[in-house]
Amino acid sequence: MRYVRATLRTSLALAMAVLLAAHVGSPDVFFSGNAGPYPVDVVIRPPQVVPGLAEVLVRTTASDVARVVIRPVYWRAGEKGAPPGDDAHRVSESNAPAAFTGQLWLMAAGAYSVHVTVSGSRGAGTVEVPVAAVATGQLALSTGMRWLLAALGMLLLAGVATAIHAAVGESQVEPGEPVPPQRRRRARIATLISMPLLALVVLGGARWWQAEANAYRRTLDRPLTTHATIRDSAGARTLVLDVLDSAWRAGARGPLMPDHGKLAHLFLIGADSLEGFAHLHPTMPSDTSFSTPLPALPPGKYRVFADVVHENGMQRTLSDSVTIVSSGTAAPSATLDADDSWFTGHAVRAAKGASAQLSDSATIEWTDSRAPRVGDVGILRFALHDRAGGPLQVEPYLGMLGHAVVMRRDGGVFVHLHPSGTSSMASELAFAIRDRGDTTPDGRLKLGSGAMAMPMNAQPQRMDSISFPYAFPRAGAYRVWVQLRVGGQVRTAAFDVDVAPAQEAIKGD
């Protein structure tokens, strides 16, 4: 395990806290599921610049995996237009678990689906992991590299000047003959004339370089401008999130598609005490606004995060803040979405054996004994118990057996997780629909043709544990909310987590 953990830390510890197309401050993509008969955990670190290299790590507990192939599929091209896959290289010498790593070029900005094909003695299986390729920053030159390039540039200019001097001077006489004084004078004059011309070339090149850098900077992904307000609607408080960004209003971001049957998943989280939490599902009264009645939440300032999925498979999180005043009236339950849920209360300090009450007959327990560190994957593991201490009967909530929300206390990191990871089911479906040709002439998905049947868990299950694949991208204080449907109601538990900086794997771990 120490080889796998060391690889994970190497590839993930440098993840930058930036606002990306999906989630906030948590750029890496996590998937946990099955590639045919093989259980796999996939971690994808998208590039910071586009075109750029994405890092892919695939782990499996199967002992008979012989080969792993990774392949990038761009949403416009589909499988037919995608390049052939690349072999991932085995990292761990042991077979339990086996780890494979590789890199993929993502050549254009937009939504990709990384196909991971696992082969072994039981045949082959493939999983598709949606990834957003967006430029989030510009790579800066180190001080040493700047000085090195400057020195090389000066040598190049000196070489050009020397070549001009030689071309006008000694190159005009026979070999071995002395250069006449008149020819030497012409060489010096030509060299002096060339110097301002070379300076103009350098200045023009610098201006061109700066113009290209500015043009690239304008393509960097940035948070969309939004405005959240609370209005009175029929005597009850209603939250309205307006998207003011011109690109969204002009339709450049593309239409939305339902994810888990909802056009948006909106989260309200108390900005100060963190004691107020709501998972709501707004409607869209217009193409640029979301609206949802507000449940009974304590007054105060709240952070607003709204997860949406575009028809090209791109996931996006809209964010803003809003203040709930004490004089308002909560919306009647009848006006709320049937799947809306909210929670007020304190969190349990995360430590091995720390338990939170989901209901009178259900508890959830933090099971990891190690303090979380940046880059550790798979640490969000929980034990579930019913009143008698046995496995808990869990019912699907929005097609999944569990949901988790992770937020750093300062709001710099936010992510909505499922047991399958961070990827959206709607994104996976968007790629499948396009590949089979269920599109209109203008490229829209045929969402009303029965193509929206998502493979969701439809049956309750008795579960003694639940886990969410994830790696904290930054050190600091976090809160983790876990949501399960138990006894016909959505129950929420909260844990406070202190995440330490990354460190090298400990020998013997």
- Model confidence pLDDT, tens digit, residues 392-441: 999 999 888 999 999 999 999 999 999 988 877 777 777 777 666 666 66
Distance CA 402, CA 155 (A): 62
User: Hey, what amino acid is at 433?
Assistant: I
CB-CB contact of 305 with 228 (8 Å): no
C-beta atoms surrounding 495 within 10 Å: 23
pLDDT of residue 59: 92
Cα-based torsion angle of the residue sequence 342, 348, 349, 352 in order, rounded to the nearest 10 degrees = -120
Mean of the pLDDT values across residues 203-213?
86
Look at residue 110 in the predicted model and tell me its pLDDT.
80
pLDDT tens for residues 259-297? 888 999 999 999 988 889 999 999 999 989 999 999 989
The pTM for the full model equals: 0.78
- The top-scoring range by mean pLDDT among 14-18, 261-265, 447-451 is 261-265
Q: What is the pLDDT of residue 234?
A: 72
More confident position, 12 or 496: 496
**Contact (Cβ atoms closer than 8 angstroms) between residue 458 and residue 442:** no
CATH of region 2-133: 2.60.40.10
Q: Which amino acid is at 9?
A: R
Greatest Cα-to-Cα distance within the chain, rounded to the nearest angstrom: 107
pLDDT of residue 217: 73
Q: Residue 310: pLDDT band by 50, 70, 90 thresholds?
A: confident
* Side-chain-facing half-sphere of 377: CA atoms under 13 Å: 28
- 221: closest CA among 299, 305, 310, 137? 137
Task: Say whether pLDDT at 241 is over 90.
Answer: yes
- At 68-115, the pLDDT tens digits run 999 999 887 888 888 999 999 998 655 557 899 999 999 988 888 899
- Backbone phi, psi, residue 205, to 5°: -65, -40
- Is the pLDDT confidence value at 14 over 50? no
Q: Which pLDDT score is estimated for 439? A: 64
Report, as an integer, the average pLDDT of 453-461: 63
- pLDDT reported for residue 322: 95
CA distance linking residue 224 with residue 201, whole number of Å:
39
Q: Residues of the chain with pLDDT > 90: what percent?
A: 45
As a whole number, mean pLDDT of residues 32-38 equals: 93
295 vs 234, residue with greater confidence? 295
* Arithmetic mean of pLDDT, 286-315: 90
Pairing assessment for the beta strands 341-344 and 276-280 based on DSSP bridges: antiparallel
pLDDT, tens digit, for every residue of 113-139? 899 999 999 999 999 998 888 776 667
Name which of 253-257, 261-265, 497-501 the model is least confident about: 253-257
Strands 348-349 and 489-499: parallel
Higher pLDDT, 97 or 38: 38
Return d(Cα 343, Cα 332) in angstroms, integer: 16
pLDDT (0 to 100) of residue 98:
87
The residue ranges of every structural domain in the chain are: 2-133, 143-218, 224-339
- Taking only the tens place, the pLDDT of each residue in 342-391 is 999 899 999 999 999 998 889 999 998 888 899 887 779 999 999 999 99
Give pLDDT, residue 451: 41
Are 2-133 and 224-339 in the same CATH fold? yes
Question: Could you confirm whether domain 224-339 is CATH 2.60.40.10?
Answer: yes
Closest CA to 484 of 421, 418, 422, 423: 418
